[in-house]
């Protein structure tokens, strides 16, 4: 009799656990007591060789030391970061898959195209990492001397000025759209898939203007005269280019944008894991070694809580929604 009662008690409790799990799927993803116990995969949603890829790899080394397991960088580029974020959205929410990305795949891409994820529900912002200034340069195909002459050329020859970016719905694309709207000019958008090929084509004069990141390679081409710095998107002039004005100084305040990058996890990742990751990433970011490396690559450290990062994402999404509404044709 006691055995029968014990079996009933077990089955009743098992049924209750199953109902609870079905009603609250996140309960299936409690943090492992010894997390992390194996390597963590860090998806970089951009191609190898770019600024974001380089900084992700620099961050991965001290983060590996802090977590006590390898942090393995894996590049999954495409669609301005949307493909890599799709991989993250489909990953198990166990803390072993993260992504390093700008916020644009969450705040801009869904407004301009159909994306294979829910930007509001599929991700957890773990920690912001850095802000990267946008650099607007003229190529050998541009015969002017400054940004004002670029706008004058665009007004004189509608559609003749070609402006390349690293892809649809990227920050560089947003800068172009803002410039077109404010100046009321027709400038042809030339979207690329990542940064390496566009630099080669810029040097070959395949288009007149390029929005890219401030980086050592670009600065070398500017110093040698192969590219011409016209403006930067940043809160202040870049130390390496003190004579180059910000877009705000040139009267294009809404185009004066930089790129905010951070670490994301799949939705339903255990809060304890997210909090541990945020603490370790911030500890690494506040160390003098990594801050010097970030600044040496012309990036601005952007540490803070996950909640602060989420608020920045929400604010950027709201600004973009207001901008795109009624101006959809500017984002071709």
pLDDT digits (tens, 9 = 90+) for 26-49: 434 566 789 999 999 999 999 888
HSE-CB for 23 with a 13 A CA cutoff: 6
Average pLDDT over residues 260-264: 97
pLDDT value, residue 3: 39
pTM for this model (two decimals): 0.82
Whether the bond into 312 is cis, omega within 30 of 0: no
Does residue 193 carry a pLDDT above 60? Answer: yes
pLDDT value, residue 326: 66
206-216 residue pLDDT tens = 999 999 988 88
Q: How confident is the model at residue 119 (pLDDT cuts 50, 70, 90)?
A: very high
- Please state, rounded to an integer, the average pLDDT across all residues of the chain: 88
Of 144, 151, 145, 106, give the one whose Cα is nearest residue 125.
Answer: 106
CATH fold of 133-255 reads D-Maltodextrin-Binding Protein; domain 2 (3.40.190)
pLDDT value, residue 330: 64
pLDDT value, residue 28: 43
- Could you give the residue range(s) of every CATH 3.40.190.150 domain in the chain? 34-132+259-331
pLDDT value, residue 170: 85
pLDDT value, residue 8: 42
Q: Which residues pair with 5 in a beta bridge?
A: none
For strands 71-75 and 123-138, give the pairing.
Answer: unpaired
Least trusted range by pLDDT, from 2-6, 26-30, 51-55, 224-228: 2-6
- Could you give the residue range(s) of every CATH 3.40.190.10 domain in the chain? 133-255
Average pLDDT over residues 17-28: 37
Average pLDDT over residues 87-116: 95
Does residue 250 carry a pLDDT above 80? Answer: yes
Q: How confident is the model at residue 331 (pLDDT cuts 50, 70, 90)?
A: low
CATH fold of 34-132+259-331 reads D-Maltodextrin-Binding Protein; domain 2 (3.40.190)
Contact 224, 147 (CB under 8 A): no
Within 8 A by CB and 6+ apart from 269, the residues are: 29, 93, 94, 95, 124
The torsion angles phi and psi of 301, rounded to 5 degrees, stand at: -55, 140
Of 21, 41, 38, give the one whose Cα is nearest residue 30.
Answer: 21
pLDDT value, residue 332: 63
179-189 residue pLDDT tens = 999 999 999 99
Does residue 21 carry a pLDDT above 70? Answer: no
Q: In this predicted model, which residue has the larger pLDDT, 174 or 125? A: 125
Element (DSSP H or E) covering residue 57: helix 51-67
pLDDT value, residue 29: 55
127-151 residue pLDDT tens = 999 999 999 999 999 999 999 999 9
DSSP string, 90-112: TS-SSSSEEEEEESHHHHTHHHH
pLDDT above 70 coverage of the chain, percent: 88
310-329 residue pLDDT tens = 999 999 999 888 888 866 66
């Amino acid at each position: 009799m006691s055995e029968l009662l014990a079996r009933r008690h077990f089955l009743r409790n098992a049924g209750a656990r199953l109902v609870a799990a079905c009603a609250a799927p996140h309960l299936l993803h409690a943090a492992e007591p010894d997390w992390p116990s194996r390597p963590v995969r860090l998806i970089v949603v951009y191609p190898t060789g770019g600024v974001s890829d380089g900084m992700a790899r620099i961050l991965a080394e001290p983060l590996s030391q802090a977590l006590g397991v390898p942090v393995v960088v894996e590049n999954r580029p495409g669609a301005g970061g949307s493909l890599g974020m799709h991989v993250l959205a489909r990953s198990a929410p166990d803390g072993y898959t993260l992504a390093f990305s700008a916020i644009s795949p969450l705040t801009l891409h869904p407004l301009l195209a159909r994306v294979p994820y829910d930007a509001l529900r599929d991700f957890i912002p773990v920690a912001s990492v850095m802000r990267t200034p946008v650099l607007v340069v003229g190529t050998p195909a541009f015969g002017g001397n400054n940004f004002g002459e670029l706008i004058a050329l665009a007004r004189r020859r509608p559609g003749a000025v070609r402006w390349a970016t690293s892809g649809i719905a990227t920050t560089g694309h947003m800068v172009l759209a803002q410039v077109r709207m404010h100046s009321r000019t027709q400038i042809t958008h030339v979207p690329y898939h990542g940064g390496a090929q566009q630099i080669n084509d810029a040097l070959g004069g395949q288009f007149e203007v390029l929005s890219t990141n401030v980086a050592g390679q670009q600065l070398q081409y500017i110093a040698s005269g192969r590219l011409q710095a016209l403006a930067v998107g940043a809160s202040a002039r870049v130390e390496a280019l003190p004579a180059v004005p910000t877009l705000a100084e040139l009267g294009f305040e809404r185009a004066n944008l930089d790129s905010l990058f951070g670490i994301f996890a799949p939705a339903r990742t255990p809060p304890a894991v997210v909090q541990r990751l945020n603490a370790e990433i911030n500890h690494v970011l506040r160390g003098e070694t990594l801050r010097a490396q970030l600044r040496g690559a012309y990036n601005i450290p952007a540490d803070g809580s996950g909640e602060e990062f989420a608020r920045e994402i929400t604010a950027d999404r709201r600004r973009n929604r207001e901008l795109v509404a009624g101006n959809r044709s500017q984002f071709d």
